[in-house]
Amino acid sequence: MSDTKKKFEAAAAAVLKAKKDPGSDMKLKLYAHYKQGTEGDVQGDKPGFTDFVNRAKYEAWAKLKGMSADDAQNAYIKLVDRITRE
Protein backbone atom coordinates (compact mmCIF):
# COMPACT_ATOMS: atom_id res chain seq x y z
CA MET A 1 0.00 0.00 0.00
CA SER A 2 1.36 3.41 -0.94
CA ASP A 3 2.18 6.09 1.60
CA THR A 4 -0.52 8.36 0.17
CA LYS A 5 -3.12 5.59 0.48
CA LYS A 6 -2.19 5.01 4.14
CA LYS A 7 -2.41 8.74 4.92
CA PHE A 8 -5.73 8.93 3.02
CA GLU A 9 -7.24 6.10 5.05
CA ALA A 10 -5.95 7.63 8.28
CA ALA A 11 -7.48 10.99 7.30
CA ALA A 12 -10.81 9.33 6.49
CA ALA A 13 -10.84 7.83 9.99
CA ALA A 14 -9.65 11.06 11.66
CA VAL A 15 -12.34 13.25 10.07
CA LEU A 16 -15.02 11.16 11.78
CA LYS A 17 -13.52 12.10 15.15
CA ALA A 18 -13.36 15.85 14.48
CA LYS A 19 -14.56 17.81 17.50
CA LYS A 20 -16.11 20.65 15.52
CA ASP A 21 -18.59 20.52 12.63
CA PRO A 22 -16.66 21.78 9.57
CA GLY A 23 -19.77 23.21 7.91
CA SER A 24 -21.63 22.35 4.74
CA ASP A 25 -19.13 23.76 2.25
CA MET A 26 -16.22 21.86 3.76
CA LYS A 27 -18.29 18.69 3.98
CA LEU A 28 -19.03 18.95 0.25
CA LYS A 29 -15.32 19.42 -0.51
CA LEU A 30 -14.45 16.43 1.65
CA TYR A 31 -17.13 14.31 -0.01
CA ALA A 32 -16.07 15.28 -3.52
CA HIS A 33 -12.37 14.66 -2.91
CA TYR A 34 -13.09 11.36 -1.17
CA LYS A 35 -15.24 10.12 -4.05
CA GLN A 36 -12.76 11.33 -6.68
CA GLY A 37 -9.93 9.67 -4.77
CA THR A 38 -11.74 6.34 -4.44
CA GLU A 39 -14.00 6.09 -7.49
CA GLY A 40 -12.66 8.52 -10.09
CA ASP A 41 -14.82 10.82 -12.19
CA VAL A 42 -18.48 11.29 -11.28
CA GLN A 43 -20.86 8.70 -12.68
CA GLY A 44 -24.59 8.37 -13.07
CA ASP A 45 -27.35 10.85 -13.74
CA LYS A 46 -27.43 14.23 -12.06
CA PRO A 47 -30.15 14.28 -9.37
CA GLY A 48 -33.19 16.46 -9.99
CA PHE A 49 -33.36 20.06 -8.79
CA THR A 50 -35.68 19.12 -5.92
CA ASP A 51 -33.08 16.71 -4.47
CA PHE A 52 -30.94 19.50 -3.03
CA VAL A 53 -28.46 17.45 -0.98
CA ASN A 54 -27.64 14.81 -3.57
CA ARG A 55 -27.53 17.38 -6.34
CA ALA A 56 -25.00 19.47 -4.37
CA LYS A 57 -22.89 16.37 -3.74
CA TYR A 58 -23.01 15.41 -7.43
CA GLU A 59 -22.04 18.91 -8.57
CA ALA A 60 -19.17 19.15 -6.06
CA TRP A 61 -17.80 15.82 -7.26
CA ALA A 62 -18.32 16.73 -10.95
CA LYS A 63 -16.11 19.83 -10.48
CA LEU A 64 -13.15 17.50 -9.85
CA LYS A 65 -13.55 15.64 -13.15
CA GLY A 66 -10.16 14.69 -14.55
CA MET A 67 -8.31 14.98 -11.23
CA SER A 68 -6.15 11.94 -10.56
CA ALA A 69 -6.89 9.70 -7.58
CA ASP A 70 -3.53 10.61 -5.99
CA ASP A 71 -4.18 14.35 -6.34
CA ALA A 72 -7.68 13.98 -4.91
CA GLN A 73 -6.41 11.91 -2.00
CA ASN A 74 -3.65 14.42 -1.23
CA ALA A 75 -6.16 17.28 -1.34
CA TYR A 76 -8.48 15.31 0.97
CA ILE A 77 -5.61 14.76 3.44
CA LYS A 78 -4.89 18.51 3.47
CA LEU A 79 -8.57 19.35 4.05
CA VAL A 80 -8.77 16.90 6.95
CA ASP A 81 -5.56 18.32 8.44
CA ARG A 82 -7.12 21.77 8.36
CA ILE A 83 -10.26 20.53 10.13
CA THR A 84 -8.53 18.46 12.79
CA ARG A 85 -6.11 21.26 13.69
CA GLU A 86 -8.96 23.62 14.62
Per-domain boundaries in the chain: 3-85
Cβ–Cβ under 8 Å, residues 85 and 16: no
User: What number does CATH give the domain 3-85?
Assistant: 1.20.80.10
Q: CB within 8 A of 83, min separation 6: which ones?
A: 15, 18, 20, 22, 26, 30
Per-residue pLDDT averaged across 19-33, rounded?
95
> In the chain, what percentage of residues exceed pLDDT 70?
100
For residue 60, pLDDT over 80 is answered with yes
What global pTM score does this model have?
0.93
